[in-house]
Structure 1
């Protein structure tokens, strides 16, 4: 259940970003994925399109249609804010971070890493007691 204060805050945010309710096309569709008979019967998934910007959002995060309507509007605000302020969202930053982590390193990077590991191993080798492996 969404509190009145959260609804008011979202309305103020939409007004400040210049998003009008008339600019939004809202449809309720059946969700996809897990959930069995219930998800196949209820149209709690919200499809929201902001006509001026062309941004489309599909939200089925919650079981409640009202909650999904609220979340979809909040997502529209986030996306428009990203475009206006020209900054990357946390979601985009997360995607880019994962992409960088999965990217294969170049041959030069791998050679440098192996060289650094060898140097580190030699440094540790110098810390050993002289005369072999006696305990």
Structure 2
């Protein structure tokens, strides 16, 4: 799936993305020490930010940063959907009636507890 298609599916406008460039660290020699090749990409509405400094090339780092940002936003979206599904399932379970066997077992436990407490009481004379 292409980058443009992923942006469209997530509903992200390129105007919502902010790029900033800094000097990279790591391998690359004099080039990375002189040129701002590290890319920090921020999605303004969500506040999600990623940094890429894997390559000596700023263009390659821009592409990597965009990939990482899209992955992070998709992961966030999927987690939100999963949480909504879990909440709906929880409400569905809470609203469903208890099975007859479980109700009988609960009542039996209450009867046993009641008997135990009655046995502890002082005998009537």
TM bucket, shorter chain: 0.5 to 0.7
Shift of 1:44: 1.1
Mapped to 2, the partners of 1:49 and 1:12 lie a distance apart of 19
Unaligned runs of 5+ in 1: 1-5, 88-135
Instruction: Normalising by structure 1, report the TM-score.
Output: 0.55
Of the three residues 25, 35, 47, the one matched with 2:28 is 35
Unaligned runs of 5+ in 2: 81-125
Shift of 1:69: 0.8
Number of residue pairs matched by the alignment:
80
Query: RMSD between aligned alpha carbons?
Result: 1.6
Mapped to 1, the partners of 2:56 and 2:34 lie a distance apart of 12
* Residues 88-116 of structure 1, C-alpha deviations (whole Å, 9 max, x = no match): xxxxxxxxxxxxxxxxxxxxxxxxxxxxx
Question: What is aligned with 1:72?
Answer: 65
* Residues 18-76 of structure 1, C-alpha deviations (whole Å, 9 max, x = no match): 11111011011111233332211011111111111111111011111111111111111
Give the greater-gyration-radius structure (CA): 2
Mapped to 2, the partners of 1:28 and 1:35 lie a distance apart of 16
Matches of residues 96-135 of structure 1 in structure 2 within 5 Å? none
Of the three residues 45, 54, 63, the one matched with 1:52 is 45
